[in-house]
Structure 1
Protein backbone atom coordinates (compact mmCIF):
# COMPACT_ATOMS: atom_id res chain seq x y z
CA UNK A 1 0.00 0.00 0.00
CA UNK A 2 1.07 3.57 -0.80
CA UNK A 3 0.36 7.02 0.62
CA UNK A 4 1.37 10.56 -0.45
CA UNK A 5 2.33 13.63 1.55
CA UNK A 6 -0.04 16.49 0.63
CA UNK A 7 2.72 19.10 1.15
CA UNK A 8 5.66 17.82 -0.89
CA UNK A 9 3.79 15.13 -2.87
CA UNK A 10 6.34 12.47 -1.83
CA UNK A 11 5.02 8.91 -2.12
CA UNK A 12 5.73 6.41 0.65
CA UNK A 13 5.16 2.69 1.00
CA UNK A 14 3.30 1.69 4.21
CA UNK A 15 2.04 -1.56 5.66
CA UNK A 16 -0.87 -2.45 7.88
CA UNK A 17 1.29 -2.61 11.02
CA UNK A 18 2.45 0.97 10.51
CA UNK A 19 -1.13 2.14 9.93
CA UNK A 20 -2.39 0.40 13.05
CA UNK A 21 0.47 1.76 15.19
CA UNK A 22 -0.02 5.36 13.95
CA UNK A 23 -3.85 5.19 13.80
CA UNK A 24 -3.57 6.59 10.21
CA UNK A 25 -1.53 9.70 11.15
CA UNK A 26 2.11 9.77 10.02
CA UNK A 27 4.86 12.33 9.42
CA UNK A 28 6.56 12.91 6.10
CA UNK A 29 10.16 11.78 6.00
CA UNK A 30 11.00 14.45 3.39
CA UNK A 31 9.41 17.68 4.55
CA UNK A 32 8.41 16.70 8.11
CA UNK A 33 4.73 17.57 7.68
CA UNK A 34 2.16 15.45 9.51
CA UNK A 35 -0.81 14.15 7.61
CA UNK A 36 -3.53 11.52 7.57
CA UNK A 37 -2.16 8.78 5.34
CA UNK A 38 -5.52 7.02 5.01
CA UNK A 39 -6.85 9.85 2.80
CA UNK A 40 -4.33 9.06 0.07
CA UNK A 41 -3.99 5.35 0.66
CA UNK A 42 -3.83 3.29 -2.53
CA UNK A 43 -3.15 -0.31 -3.35
CA UNK A 44 -1.15 0.43 -6.53
CA UNK A 45 0.70 3.35 -8.02
CA UNK A 46 -0.95 5.05 -11.03
CA UNK A 47 0.96 5.08 -14.35
CA UNK A 48 3.75 7.60 -14.55
CA UNK A 49 4.07 10.43 -14.71
CA UNK A 50 1.81 11.22 -11.72
CA UNK A 51 1.58 14.20 -9.50
CA UNK A 52 -1.03 13.15 -6.93
CA UNK A 53 -2.43 9.89 -5.73
CA UNK A 54 -6.18 9.44 -5.94
CA UNK A 55 -7.95 10.07 -2.67
CA UNK A 56 -8.96 7.00 -0.74
CA UNK A 57 -12.67 6.69 -0.23
CA UNK A 58 -14.38 3.65 1.26
CA UNK A 59 -16.22 1.70 -1.32
CA UNK A 60 -18.69 0.02 0.99
CA UNK A 61 -20.36 0.89 4.22
CA UNK A 62 -18.66 -0.29 7.43
CA UNK A 63 -20.03 -3.61 8.74
CA UNK A 64 -22.53 -3.51 11.55
CA UNK A 65 -22.08 -5.79 14.61
CA UNK A 66 -25.22 -6.95 16.41
CA UNK A 67 -24.16 -9.92 18.59
CA UNK A 68 -23.79 -8.37 22.10
CA UNK A 69 -21.56 -10.24 24.52
CA UNK A 70 -21.58 -7.77 27.43
CA UNK A 71 -23.35 -4.45 28.02
CA UNK A 72 -22.52 -2.49 31.25
CA UNK A 73 -25.53 -1.45 33.31
CA UNK A 74 -26.11 2.09 34.59
CA UNK A 75 -25.03 2.85 38.16
CA UNK A 76 -28.60 3.52 39.29
CA UNK A 77 -29.69 0.08 38.10
CA UNK A 78 -26.74 -1.58 39.87
CA UNK A 79 -27.64 0.12 43.16
CA UNK A 80 -31.27 -0.98 42.79
CA UNK A 81 -30.25 -4.60 42.23
CA UNK A 82 -27.82 -4.60 45.18
CA UNK A 83 -30.38 -3.16 47.61
CA UNK A 84 -33.88 -3.55 46.16
CA UNK A 85 -35.79 -2.73 49.41
CA UNK A 86 -33.58 -0.03 50.90
CA UNK A 87 -34.45 3.59 50.41
CA UNK A 88 -33.13 6.95 51.49
CA UNK A 89 -35.00 6.64 54.81
CA UNK A 90 -34.40 2.95 55.46
CA UNK A 91 -33.24 2.50 59.09
CA UNK A 92 -32.06 -1.06 58.48
CA UNK A 93 -29.83 -0.30 55.52
CA UNK A 94 -26.66 -0.93 57.56
CA UNK A 95 -27.92 -4.13 59.18
CA UNK A 96 -25.37 -6.94 58.91
CA UNK A 97 -26.82 -10.43 58.84
CA UNK A 98 -24.50 -13.22 59.93
CA UNK A 99 -24.31 -16.27 57.67
CA UNK A 100 -26.19 -19.34 58.76
CA UNK A 101 -23.06 -21.37 59.33
CA UNK A 102 -21.75 -18.64 61.63
CA UNK A 103 -24.99 -18.67 63.66
CA UNK A 104 -24.91 -22.43 64.01
CA UNK A 105 -21.44 -22.50 65.49
CA UNK A 106 -21.34 -22.60 69.26
CA UNK A 107 -18.94 -20.47 71.22
CA UNK A 108 -16.17 -22.59 72.65
CA UNK A 109 -15.92 -21.89 76.37
CA UNK A 110 -12.90 -22.92 78.39
CA UNK A 111 -13.40 -26.07 80.45
CA UNK A 112 -13.10 -25.18 84.10
CA UNK A 113 -14.24 -28.40 85.73
CA UNK A 114 -10.77 -30.03 85.59
CA UNK A 115 -9.32 -27.10 87.53
CA UNK A 116 -12.21 -27.25 89.99
CA UNK A 117 -11.70 -30.98 90.58
CA UNK A 118 -7.95 -30.46 91.00
CA UNK A 119 -8.54 -27.71 93.59
CA UNK A 120 -11.03 -29.88 95.49
CA UNK A 121 -8.59 -32.80 95.55
CA UNK A 122 -5.79 -30.55 96.75
CA UNK A 123 -8.01 -29.17 99.52
CA UNK A 124 -8.99 -32.68 100.60
CA UNK A 125 -5.36 -33.73 100.64
CA UNK A 126 -4.43 -30.68 102.70
CA UNK A 127 -7.26 -31.38 105.15
CA UNK A 128 -6.13 -35.01 105.47
CA UNK A 129 -2.54 -33.96 106.18
CA UNK A 130 -3.70 -31.43 108.75
CA UNK A 131 -5.94 -34.01 110.44
CA UNK A 132 -3.08 -36.50 110.56
CA UNK A 133 -0.74 -33.91 112.08
CA UNK A 134 -3.34 -33.09 114.76
CA UNK A 135 -4.58 -36.65 115.22
CA UNK A 136 -3.61 -36.84 118.90
CA UNK A 137 -5.46 -33.62 119.70
CA UNK A 138 -8.56 -34.64 117.71
CA UNK A 139 -8.74 -38.12 119.24
CA UNK A 140 -8.18 -36.77 122.75
CA UNK A 141 -10.86 -34.11 122.35
CA UNK A 142 -14.13 -34.90 124.12
CA UNK A 143 -16.21 -33.79 121.10
CA UNK A 144 -14.32 -35.14 118.12
CA UNK A 145 -12.88 -38.23 119.79
CA UNK A 146 -16.17 -40.20 120.07
CA UNK A 147 -17.14 -39.23 116.52
CA UNK A 148 -13.85 -40.49 115.17
CA UNK A 149 -14.23 -43.68 117.17
CA UNK A 150 -17.74 -44.30 115.75
CA UNK A 151 -16.55 -43.58 112.21
CA UNK A 152 -13.63 -45.93 112.65
CA UNK A 153 -15.96 -48.64 113.99
CA UNK A 154 -18.15 -48.33 110.88
CA UNK A 155 -15.15 -48.36 108.56
CA UNK A 156 -13.55 -51.22 110.51
CA UNK A 157 -10.35 -49.35 111.17
CA UNK A 158 -8.31 -48.69 114.29
CA UNK A 159 -7.48 -45.25 115.60
CA UNK A 160 -3.83 -44.67 116.45
CA UNK A 161 -3.25 -44.71 120.22
CA UNK A 162 -3.01 -41.38 121.98
CA UNK A 163 -0.90 -41.08 125.09
CA UNK A 164 -1.80 -38.70 127.92
CA UNK A 165 -0.01 -39.70 131.11
CA UNK A 166 -1.71 -36.89 133.04
CA UNK A 167 -4.97 -38.87 132.71
CA UNK A 168 -3.40 -41.96 134.33
CA UNK A 169 -4.08 -42.03 138.07
CA UNK A 170 -2.40 -44.31 140.56
CA UNK A 171 -5.13 -45.55 142.89
CA UNK A 172 -3.04 -47.81 145.17
CA UNK A 173 0.50 -49.14 145.49
CA UNK A 174 2.40 -51.54 147.71
CA UNK A 175 5.86 -53.06 148.03
CA UNK A 176 6.92 -56.24 149.84
CA UNK A 177 9.62 -58.84 149.81
CA UNK A 178 9.23 -61.33 147.02
CA UNK A 179 7.80 -64.54 148.52
CA UNK A 180 9.66 -66.94 146.28
CA UNK A 181 12.63 -65.08 144.82
CA UNK A 182 15.45 -64.13 147.20
CA UNK A 183 16.84 -60.59 147.21
CA UNK A 184 13.85 -59.36 145.21
CA UNK A 185 10.94 -57.03 145.82
CA UNK A 186 7.34 -57.40 144.66
CA UNK A 187 5.71 -54.05 143.82
CA UNK A 188 1.99 -53.84 143.00
CA UNK A 189 0.01 -50.85 141.76
CA UNK A 190 -3.57 -50.15 140.69
CA UNK A 191 -3.87 -47.88 137.63
CA UNK A 192 -6.96 -46.16 136.17
CA UNK A 193 -7.38 -44.39 132.84
CA UNK A 194 -9.45 -41.24 133.38
CA UNK A 195 -9.20 -40.15 129.72
CA UNK A 196 -12.16 -40.34 127.34
CA UNK A 197 -10.12 -42.43 124.91
CA UNK A 198 -8.11 -45.61 124.95
CA UNK A 199 -4.48 -45.12 125.87
CA UNK A 200 -1.51 -47.34 125.16
CA UNK A 201 0.09 -48.97 128.15
CA UNK A 202 2.58 -46.55 129.66
CA UNK A 203 6.25 -46.92 130.35
CA UNK A 204 6.51 -47.34 134.14
CA UNK A 205 9.43 -45.79 135.97
CA UNK A 206 10.23 -47.20 139.45
CA UNK A 207 12.56 -45.36 141.83
CA UNK A 208 13.83 -46.72 145.17
CA UNK A 209 15.27 -44.24 147.64
CA UNK A 210 16.62 -44.13 151.21
CA UNK A 211 15.34 -42.20 154.20
CA UNK A 212 17.04 -39.01 152.98
CA UNK A 213 15.31 -39.20 149.57
CA UNK A 214 18.43 -40.28 147.74
CA UNK A 215 17.63 -42.50 144.76
CA UNK A 216 19.32 -45.88 145.22
CA UNK A 217 17.90 -47.66 142.18
CA UNK A 218 15.76 -46.76 139.19
CA UNK A 219 14.26 -48.86 136.44
CA UNK A 220 12.15 -48.16 133.35
CA UNK A 221 9.81 -50.96 132.37
CA UNK A 222 8.26 -51.09 128.90
CA UNK A 223 4.73 -52.51 128.58
CA UNK A 224 5.94 -55.82 127.11
CA UNK A 225 8.15 -56.27 130.22
CA UNK A 226 5.31 -56.21 132.75
CA UNK A 227 2.43 -57.54 130.58
CA UNK A 228 2.29 -61.14 129.38
CA UNK A 229 -1.07 -60.91 127.57
CA UNK A 230 -0.41 -59.86 123.97
CA UNK A 231 -4.09 -59.08 123.24
CA UNK A 232 -4.32 -56.88 126.29
CA UNK A 233 -1.12 -55.15 125.24
CA UNK A 234 -2.47 -54.56 121.73
CA UNK A 235 -5.87 -53.17 122.77
CA UNK A 236 -4.46 -50.74 125.33
CA UNK A 237 -6.10 -49.31 128.42
CA UNK A 238 -9.76 -48.51 127.79
CA UNK A 239 -11.27 -45.22 129.02
CA UNK A 240 -12.35 -45.44 132.67
CA UNK A 241 -10.80 -48.91 133.06
CA UNK A 242 -8.69 -49.92 136.08
CA UNK A 243 -5.99 -52.58 136.18
CA UNK A 244 -3.52 -54.04 138.66
CA UNK A 245 0.17 -54.08 137.75
CA UNK A 246 2.82 -56.22 139.42
CA UNK A 247 6.57 -55.59 139.12
CA UNK A 248 9.47 -57.76 140.25
CA UNK A 249 12.64 -55.78 140.97
CA UNK A 250 15.94 -56.47 142.64
CA UNK A 251 16.21 -55.50 146.31
CA UNK A 252 18.88 -52.76 146.66
CA UNK A 253 19.29 -53.48 150.39
CA UNK A 254 17.94 -52.40 153.72
CA UNK A 255 18.63 -48.76 152.99
CA UNK A 256 15.77 -48.63 150.47
CA UNK A 257 12.85 -47.54 152.59
CA UNK A 258 10.71 -45.66 149.99
CA UNK A 259 9.66 -46.11 146.40
CA UNK A 260 7.93 -44.05 143.76
CA UNK A 261 6.06 -44.88 140.50
CA UNK A 262 5.89 -42.64 137.48
CA UNK A 263 4.45 -42.99 133.98
CA UNK A 264 5.91 -41.91 130.65
Structure 2
Protein backbone atom coordinates (compact mmCIF):
# COMPACT_ATOMS: atom_id res chain seq x y z
CA UNK A 1 0.00 0.00 0.00
CA UNK A 2 1.08 3.54 -0.76
CA UNK A 3 0.51 6.95 0.75
CA UNK A 4 1.63 10.50 -0.10
CA UNK A 5 2.87 13.43 2.06
CA UNK A 6 0.63 16.45 1.42
CA UNK A 7 3.55 18.88 1.98
CA UNK A 8 6.37 17.61 -0.26
CA UNK A 9 4.23 15.15 -2.32
CA UNK A 10 6.67 12.31 -1.60
CA UNK A 11 5.11 8.83 -2.02
CA UNK A 12 5.89 6.15 0.56
CA UNK A 13 5.20 2.45 0.78
CA UNK A 14 3.47 1.44 4.03
CA UNK A 15 2.05 -1.75 5.45
CA UNK A 16 -1.00 -2.46 7.58
CA UNK A 17 1.08 -3.02 10.74
CA UNK A 18 2.68 0.42 10.53
CA UNK A 19 -0.69 2.05 9.93
CA UNK A 20 -2.26 0.22 12.90
CA UNK A 21 0.58 1.15 15.28
CA UNK A 22 0.45 4.81 14.27
CA UNK A 23 -3.38 4.94 14.17
CA UNK A 24 -3.02 6.32 10.66
CA UNK A 25 -0.79 9.29 11.61
CA UNK A 26 2.81 9.14 10.32
CA UNK A 27 5.81 11.45 9.82
CA UNK A 28 7.25 12.24 6.41
CA UNK A 29 10.83 10.93 6.10
CA UNK A 30 11.70 13.67 3.61
CA UNK A 31 10.32 16.95 5.01
CA UNK A 32 9.39 15.82 8.54
CA UNK A 33 5.72 16.85 8.28
CA UNK A 34 3.10 14.80 10.10
CA UNK A 35 0.03 13.73 8.15
CA UNK A 36 -2.84 11.23 8.00
CA UNK A 37 -1.65 8.44 5.75
CA UNK A 38 -5.14 6.92 5.41
CA UNK A 39 -6.41 9.98 3.50
CA UNK A 40 -4.23 9.10 0.45
CA UNK A 41 -3.91 5.36 1.00
CA UNK A 42 -3.90 3.38 -2.31
CA UNK A 43 -3.32 -0.28 -3.20
CA UNK A 44 -1.73 0.57 -6.58
CA UNK A 45 0.04 3.62 -7.91
CA UNK A 46 -1.68 5.39 -10.79
CA UNK A 47 0.09 5.40 -14.18
CA UNK A 48 2.93 7.93 -14.49
CA UNK A 49 3.28 10.78 -14.72
CA UNK A 50 1.14 11.81 -11.67
CA UNK A 51 1.46 14.57 -9.04
CA UNK A 52 -0.95 13.64 -6.27
CA UNK A 53 -2.62 10.48 -5.12
CA UNK A 54 -6.39 10.63 -4.91
CA UNK A 55 -7.72 11.64 -1.48
CA UNK A 56 -10.36 9.59 0.34
CA UNK A 57 -13.17 11.66 1.84
CA UNK A 58 -14.19 10.44 5.31
CA UNK A 59 -17.42 8.48 5.26
CA UNK A 60 -20.51 9.64 7.10
CA UNK A 61 -20.84 6.31 8.90
CA UNK A 62 -18.07 3.85 9.76
CA UNK A 63 -18.17 0.57 7.81
CA UNK A 64 -19.73 -2.40 9.51
CA UNK A 65 -17.91 -5.73 9.84
CA UNK A 66 -20.05 -8.82 9.55
CA UNK A 67 -17.75 -11.86 9.33
CA UNK A 68 -17.27 -13.22 12.88
CA UNK A 69 -14.08 -15.20 13.37
CA UNK A 70 -14.13 -15.71 17.19
CA UNK A 71 -16.54 -14.84 20.02
CA UNK A 72 -15.51 -15.60 23.71
CA UNK A 73 -17.98 -17.62 25.77
CA UNK A 74 -19.62 -15.94 28.87
CA UNK A 75 -18.41 -17.02 32.33
CA UNK A 76 -20.49 -19.41 34.42
CA UNK A 77 -23.09 -18.17 36.91
CA UNK A 78 -21.04 -19.43 39.88
CA UNK A 79 -18.16 -17.16 39.05
CA UNK A 80 -20.52 -14.19 38.75
CA UNK A 81 -22.14 -14.98 42.10
CA UNK A 82 -18.73 -15.41 43.75
CA UNK A 83 -17.56 -12.08 42.39
CA UNK A 84 -20.72 -10.34 43.61
CA UNK A 85 -20.33 -11.89 47.10
CA UNK A 86 -16.69 -10.81 47.33
CA UNK A 87 -17.60 -7.31 46.22
CA UNK A 88 -20.34 -7.04 48.85
CA UNK A 89 -17.94 -8.27 51.55
CA UNK A 90 -15.25 -5.78 50.50
CA UNK A 91 -17.63 -2.82 50.61
CA UNK A 92 -19.68 -3.93 53.61
CA UNK A 93 -17.51 -2.04 56.12
CA UNK A 94 -17.23 1.16 54.12
CA UNK A 95 -18.88 4.27 55.56
CA UNK A 96 -19.95 6.64 52.83
CA UNK A 97 -20.53 10.22 53.82
CA UNK A 98 -22.85 12.11 51.48
CA UNK A 99 -21.31 15.06 49.75
CA UNK A 100 -23.76 17.52 51.25
CA UNK A 101 -22.85 16.26 54.73
CA UNK A 102 -19.12 16.72 54.07
CA UNK A 103 -19.69 20.20 52.70
CA UNK A 104 -21.84 21.13 55.68
CA UNK A 105 -19.18 19.95 58.14
CA UNK A 106 -16.44 21.73 56.19
CA UNK A 107 -18.30 25.01 55.96
CA UNK A 108 -19.64 24.94 59.52
CA UNK A 109 -18.84 28.32 61.13
CA UNK A 110 -16.71 28.46 64.24
CA UNK A 111 -18.86 29.54 67.14
CA UNK A 112 -16.31 29.52 69.98
CA UNK A 113 -15.05 33.09 69.34
CA UNK A 114 -18.60 34.44 69.63
CA UNK A 115 -19.28 32.32 72.73
CA UNK A 116 -16.04 33.55 74.37
CA UNK A 117 -16.83 37.17 73.53
CA UNK A 118 -20.38 36.86 74.91
CA UNK A 119 -19.04 35.22 78.09
CA UNK A 120 -16.53 38.05 78.63
CA UNK A 121 -19.22 40.66 78.05
CA UNK A 122 -21.46 38.85 80.54
CA UNK A 123 -18.67 38.89 83.16
CA UNK A 124 -18.14 42.60 82.51
CA UNK A 125 -21.85 43.23 82.96
CA UNK A 126 -21.85 41.31 86.25
CA UNK A 127 -18.86 43.33 87.43
CA UNK A 128 -20.57 46.62 86.62
CA UNK A 129 -23.77 45.49 88.32
CA UNK A 130 -21.85 44.36 91.41
CA UNK A 131 -20.00 47.67 91.60
CA UNK A 132 -23.25 49.64 91.28
CA UNK A 133 -24.84 47.55 94.07
CA UNK A 134 -21.69 47.20 96.20
CA UNK A 135 -23.19 48.92 99.24
CA UNK A 136 -26.24 46.67 99.19
CA UNK A 137 -24.17 43.49 98.68
CA UNK A 138 -21.68 44.30 101.42
CA UNK A 139 -24.49 45.23 103.82
CA UNK A 140 -26.40 42.04 103.06
CA UNK A 141 -26.14 39.57 105.99
CA UNK A 142 -25.66 36.66 103.59
CA UNK A 143 -23.43 38.13 100.89
CA UNK A 144 -21.45 40.44 103.18
CA UNK A 145 -19.51 37.74 105.10
CA UNK A 146 -18.86 35.81 101.88
CA UNK A 147 -17.46 38.90 100.20
CA UNK A 148 -15.31 39.65 103.23
CA UNK A 149 -13.88 36.13 103.22
CA UNK A 150 -13.20 36.30 99.50
CA UNK A 151 -11.58 39.70 99.86
CA UNK A 152 -9.43 38.48 102.74
CA UNK A 153 -8.25 35.57 100.57
CA UNK A 154 -7.47 37.86 97.63
CA UNK A 155 -5.84 40.45 99.91
CA UNK A 156 -8.17 43.24 98.84
CA UNK A 157 -10.29 45.79 100.67
CA UNK A 158 -14.05 46.09 100.41
CA UNK A 159 -15.51 49.57 100.02
CA UNK A 160 -16.88 50.85 103.34
CA UNK A 161 -20.64 50.83 103.80
CA UNK A 162 -22.19 53.41 106.06
CA UNK A 163 -25.43 52.69 107.95
CA UNK A 164 -25.68 55.07 110.90
CA UNK A 165 -29.00 53.48 111.86
CA UNK A 166 -27.02 50.43 113.05
CA UNK A 167 -24.85 52.53 115.42
CA UNK A 168 -26.24 52.32 118.94
CA UNK A 169 -25.33 54.86 121.64
CA UNK A 170 -24.93 52.78 124.81
CA UNK A 171 -23.84 55.48 127.29
CA UNK A 172 -22.88 59.16 127.36
CA UNK A 173 -21.55 61.62 129.88
CA UNK A 174 -20.47 65.27 130.01
CA UNK A 175 -18.21 66.99 132.51
CA UNK A 176 -15.95 69.98 132.84
CA UNK A 177 -12.63 69.47 131.16
CA UNK A 178 -10.05 68.71 133.85
CA UNK A 179 -7.13 70.49 132.17
CA UNK A 180 -8.58 72.89 129.58
CA UNK A 181 -10.45 75.94 130.98
CA UNK A 182 -13.86 76.85 129.55
CA UNK A 183 -14.18 73.46 127.88
CA UNK A 184 -16.35 70.39 128.26
CA UNK A 185 -15.31 66.75 128.03
CA UNK A 186 -18.01 64.51 126.54
CA UNK A 187 -17.63 60.74 126.49
CA UNK A 188 -19.83 58.23 124.68
CA UNK A 189 -19.92 54.48 124.19
CA UNK A 190 -20.97 53.32 120.69
CA UNK A 191 -21.69 49.81 119.37
CA UNK A 192 -21.97 48.72 115.73
CA UNK A 193 -24.99 46.43 115.43
CA UNK A 194 -24.50 45.94 111.69
CA UNK A 195 -23.20 42.66 110.24
CA UNK A 196 -20.44 44.53 108.40
CA UNK A 197 -17.64 46.96 109.21
CA UNK A 198 -18.64 50.61 109.09
CA UNK A 199 -16.47 53.70 108.75
CA UNK A 200 -16.34 56.01 111.74
CA UNK A 201 -19.31 58.38 111.61
CA UNK A 202 -19.52 62.14 111.62
CA UNK A 203 -20.68 63.14 115.12
CA UNK A 204 -22.97 66.10 115.75
CA UNK A 205 -23.08 67.48 119.32
CA UNK A 206 -25.93 69.80 120.31
CA UNK A 207 -26.10 71.72 123.61
CA UNK A 208 -29.47 73.11 124.65
CA UNK A 209 -30.91 75.18 127.48
CA UNK A 210 -33.73 74.35 129.86
CA UNK A 211 -36.34 75.16 127.22
CA UNK A 212 -34.79 72.74 124.71
CA UNK A 213 -33.39 75.51 122.54
CA UNK A 214 -30.07 74.67 120.90
CA UNK A 215 -27.49 77.21 122.02
CA UNK A 216 -24.34 75.49 120.67
CA UNK A 217 -23.62 72.83 118.06
CA UNK A 218 -20.50 71.27 116.62
CA UNK A 219 -19.97 68.70 113.88
CA UNK A 220 -16.84 66.56 114.21
CA UNK A 221 -15.33 64.37 111.50
CA UNK A 222 -13.59 61.10 112.51
CA UNK A 223 -10.08 62.55 112.29
CA UNK A 224 -10.99 65.20 114.90
CA UNK A 225 -11.93 62.75 117.65
CA UNK A 226 -9.68 59.80 116.74
CA UNK A 227 -5.87 59.94 116.95
CA UNK A 228 -5.26 56.28 116.03
CA UNK A 229 -4.68 56.19 112.26
CA UNK A 230 -4.95 52.38 112.04
CA UNK A 231 -8.26 52.36 113.92
CA UNK A 232 -9.51 55.16 111.67
CA UNK A 233 -8.61 53.11 108.61
CA UNK A 234 -10.12 49.84 109.92
CA UNK A 235 -13.45 51.34 110.94
CA UNK A 236 -15.90 49.84 113.44
CA UNK A 237 -16.18 46.09 113.10
CA UNK A 238 -19.50 44.24 113.29
CA UNK A 239 -20.63 43.95 116.91
CA UNK A 240 -17.67 46.05 118.16
CA UNK A 241 -18.03 48.62 120.94
CA UNK A 242 -15.86 51.72 121.16
CA UNK A 243 -15.51 54.63 123.60
CA UNK A 244 -15.38 58.12 122.07
CA UNK A 245 -14.08 61.30 123.71
CA UNK A 246 -15.06 64.79 122.50
CA UNK A 247 -13.69 68.16 123.60
CA UNK A 248 -16.02 71.11 123.03
CA UNK A 249 -16.18 74.71 124.19
CA UNK A 250 -18.31 75.39 127.26
CA UNK A 251 -21.23 77.65 126.27
CA UNK A 252 -21.84 78.61 129.92
CA UNK A 253 -24.38 77.80 132.58
CA UNK A 254 -27.26 78.03 130.11
CA UNK A 255 -26.38 74.63 128.65
CA UNK A 256 -28.17 72.08 130.73
CA UNK A 257 -28.66 69.24 128.21
CA UNK A 258 -26.90 67.73 125.21
CA UNK A 259 -27.40 65.06 122.62
CA UNK A 260 -25.26 63.17 120.08
CA UNK A 261 -26.14 62.39 116.50
CA UNK A 262 -24.35 60.26 113.88
CA UNK A 263 -24.11 60.99 110.17
Please indicate the TM-score interval, normalised by the length of the shorter structure.
0.5 to 0.7
Report the TM-score when normalising by structure 2. 0.62
1:136-191 deviations in Å (ceiling 9; x for gaps) = 11011111011101111111111111111011000000000111111100000000
Measured after TM superposition, the shift of residue 114 of structure 1 is 1.8
Structure whose alpha-carbon radius of gyration is higher: 1
Q: Residues 107 and 245 (structure 1 numbering): CA distance in 2 closer, same or farther, change over 3 Å?
A: same
In 2, Cα distance between the equivalents of 1:134 and 1:214? 41
Judged with a 3 Å threshold, the aligned counterparts in structure 2 of structure 1 residues 109 and 177 are, in CA distance, closer, same or farther, namely same
**Which residue in the other structure is 1:195 paired with?**
194
Which residue of structure 2 aligns with residue 50 of structure 1? none
Aligned to 2:261: 262
- Give the aligned partner of residue 146 of structure 1: 145
Which has the larger displacement, 147-156 or 112-121? Answer: 112-121
Displacement of 1:65 after TM fit? 4.2
Aligned residue number for residue 238 of structure 1: 237
- Aligned position for 1:25: none
DSSP-derived class of the 2:247 partner: strand
Alignment TM-score, normalising by the size of structure 1: 0.62
Instruction: Tell me the residue number matched to 1:156.
Output: 155
Aligned counterparts of 1:235 and 1:109: Cα–Cα separation in 2: 57
Q: Distance in 2 between matches of 1:109 and 1:247?
A: 75
Structure 2 residue 205 is the aligned partner of structure 1 residue 179: no
Matched, 1:120 2:95: no
**Structure 1 residues 1-264: aligned runs within 5 Å:** 65=55, 107-264=106-263
C-alpha separation in 2, matches of 1:104 and 1:194: 68
Residue 213 (structure 1) shift: 0.6
Q: In the TM superposition, what whole-angstrom CA distance separates every residue of 1:32-63 from its partner, at most 9, and x where no partner exists? A: xxxxxxxxxxxxxxxxxxxxxxxxxxxxxxx7
- Which residues of structure 1 form unaligned runs of 5+? 1-62, 75-100
Return the offset for 1:109: 2.2
User: SS state of the match for residue 224, structure 1?
Assistant: helix
The alignment yields a C-alpha RMSD, in angstroms, of 3.0
What is the number of residues matched between the two proteins?
A: 179
Matched residues in 2 for 1:170 and 1:65: separation? 132
Partner secondary structure for residue 122 of structure 1 = helix
